[in-house]
Amino acid sequence: MSRPLGVAVIGYSFMGKAHSNAWRNVGAFFPQTPPVRQQVLVGRDAEAVRAAADRYGWQDSATDWRAAIARDDVDIVDVCTPGDSHAEIALAALAAGKHVLVEKPLANSVPEAEQLVAAAASAAERGVRSAVGFNYRRVPALALARGLVAEGRIGRVRQVRASYLQDWLADPAAPMSWRLRRESAGSGVLGDLGSHVVDLVQHLLDDPVVAASGRLRTFVPTRTGPAGPEPVTVDDAAWATLETRGGRIASVEVSRVATGRKNGLTLELYGDAGALTFELERLNELHLHDGLGGPSSGFRRIVVTEPEHPSLHAWWPPGHVLGWDHTFTIQAAELLEAVAAGTDPRPSFADGLGVQRVLDAIERSAHEDGRTQTIHE
């Protein structure tokens, strides 16, 4: 195009702030990508969204997402709203010919996700691109881990242990929020943190989950909302066992009531010739066990800050670490590169649907006393 690509971000809170930061910085660190213009930030509270737009560098603010999508100066729609509106906004944006990025999880249900995949496929025939925002794929250490697995550096992976633990709901006095209502969030920690874990298991192994069993628990059934006490209708914690098409087994635990854990995403991959471990709270490090044996055998730390490591060419000299926010900038760059090349970005809406089907199987299993559920494509 003869002008920068205009971006609209729908939602200005936590994820809207993270995505705004990415769009503001993507051109500075990835100058090879098409230039963008932060066109409009959208939210329901006119005064609050205007203030956020000023802070985050947006040209304009609005309260009507439909009007924002209809604007001729908007080419990319980035959906950062609660899950109950993902499908409606993304479908409208695709129909309007806009490229679309949807924050995870893709939707609140499998039928909604299937509808989005169909719409994305139709839009792709017209050159319209779409992606779902699983930003942890963009952690350079995890991108390196995927490459090492693909190269066979740890042999054939047999089992995975994955957990994502937070504690912001550990206090029973923590107030009610939209994330604790099924009608807005779809599910609790299972969809919120569990979606990241399921995506990473499938992504790192390049092997889809075909069966799942699970348990869900709501430890604090009532919390105080604007009008007083109201029931919590989603899960606080979830556990699952996943089996992939290739016969790998993954054990998964996610929680928002794990006292003392702030953002504790941990992944352990065990192969027949080695192992890999990763902790998000040390996101620039990857630990590799080469499986050679002997008295000096053990895990060695790889500091993932070298120019040849994934995405690191864009950032700082070796040893100068990256942070959580950088993953969103890399995500924006990869979407822009796909738009420029006319290729389909990943993770795709189909990838998002795959995660949604696993989450649905876990939830169905929990309602059937942990009975294993088969996942059908």
Q: What is the pLDDT of residue 308?
A: 96
Q: Is the dihedral of CA 220, 356, 206, 318 positive or negative?
A: negative
**CATH topology (fold) of 5-136:** Rossmann fold (3.40.50)
pLDDT of residue 297: 81
CATH of region 138-345+354-366, choose from 1.20.58.220, 3.30.360.10, 1.10.10.10, 1.10.3470.10: 3.30.360.10
146: tokens are: 């995927």
Report residues of the chain scoring pLDDT below 70: 1
Check residue 351 and give its pLDDT. Answer: 98
Please give the pLDDT value at position 290.
86
Question: How big is the chain, counted in residues?
Answer: 377
* Coil/strand/helix, residue 369: coil
pLDDT value at residue 326: 98
Burial of 350-361, coded b for 16+ CB within 10 Å and e otherwise, reads: bbbbbbbbbbbb
Domain spans of the chain, in order of start: 5-136, 138-345+354-366
* pTM for this prediction: 0.97
Give pLDDT, residue 110: 97
Closest to 194 in 3D by CA, of 365, 19, 20? 365
pLDDT at position 148 is 98
